[in-house]
Structure 1
């Protein structure tokens, strides 16, 4: 993943269907510097995502689909100034909760632009 993260022109990354081996994804300095869109779909092994906002400085959209063992979206994702949308579908309750928490913290800090979109089972107004 570190090699992919250092690609200088990487704008969209779709990590689909078991792209991760192991339970942890830890990003590092200098990775994903131009990434705008990140899709995580059906990555059942990943449980913990460790990152900092500096690792995704241009991220605009984060989509998390069917990552059933992921424990949360890191709160640091909310500190990315370009982030406009977080989508969460078919994940554990903790992932939904972390996305909503990120949006609430951003609103408290004056960022009304961040959208959180979730599946029908979990609507944001239910939080």
Structure 2
């Protein structure tokens, strides 16, 4: 066990028992463990995480009574090397309003109960992470039905994936500098989304916009963004838009070009 580096359970049924309380001199420290994936209802108290001081990848899910994760995520000295975190919470027994994520995070996948609102508490904390390159928001609530990005956040973000955020109607961005390093934007099953900002197309690093089962209006807006950039950059444009549409939107396939792919899901 002292040599263990990677522990993963594919089917999300791995339950780890709480460690027996002993004196600090007798605590077993798993210094080599870097990857822990597939743990259900993991006790993430300080007493536990200090036993895995070099953990880099952690994937946990909660569907029962939830141990207070605020203390865990705020215990930065215990998680100073954490680079990838997947946190999926189904339980409503969770007493937090704000999470202080470890600043070392490079990749974050997060899904919280729908009563938690992104705009005021969660997104500002995530946006300030200095090293974050990949963010996936899953099935979460926007109380105002709008995400308005702000300056000086998400400065390192390269990949943004929004998955089944059913409350989101409008994505607003006043300046392309809000995502200065963004390479890929993926919008998946955003059934209420009606607006995406044209400023996204002005991000110089952007290479891919992927739309999966979004409204016809959103697909057409993405087409307009692409055409604007084609007018500005001509053959030098290195941006691809790929839309996967439902059968009722199959007419959009007629809009396909070399840089605008439309696929009907069969």
Query: Which is greater in Rg?
Result: 2
Mapping of residues 42-81 of structure 1, within 5 Å: 42-51=164-173, 52-81=175-204
The answer on whether the counterparts of 2:141 and 2:168 sit within 8 Å (CA) in structure 1 is no
Deviations 1:72-123 (A, max 9, x none): 2210100100000000011111110111111111111114210000115443
Alignment-derived partner of residue 38 in structure 1: 160
The answer on whether the counterparts of 1:2 and 1:27 sit within 8 Å (CA) in structure 2 is no
Alignment-derived partner of residue 224 in structure 2: 101
Alignment-derived partner of residue 3 in structure 1: 125
TM-score, normalised by the number of residues in structure 1 = 0.92
* Deviation (angstroms), 1:3: 1.3
* Deviation (angstroms), 1:22: 3.3
Does 2:148 correspond to 1:26? yes
Higher relative contact order (CA 8 A, sep 6+): 1
- The CA distance in 2 between the partners of 1:20 and 1:14, in whole Å, is 15
Q: What secondary structure is seen at the aligned counterpart in 2 of 1:15? A: strand
Alignment-derived partner of residue 243 in structure 2: 118
Does 2:138 correspond to 1:16? yes
TM-score, normalised by the number of residues in structure 2 = 0.45
Q: What secondary structure is seen at the aligned counterpart in 1 of 2:204? A: coil
The size of the alignment, in residue pairs, is: 127
* Deviation (angstroms), 1:20: 3.4
Root-mean-square deviation (CA, aligned residues, Å) is 1.7
4+ long deviations beyond 4 Å: none
Alignment-derived partner of residue 62 in structure 2: none
Question: Which residue of 86, 108, 122 corresponds with 2:209?
Answer: 86
Q: What secondary structure is seen at the aligned counterpart in 1 of 2:256? A: helix
Deviations 1:29-87 (A, max 9, x none): 11111100000110010111111211100000000011111112210100100000000
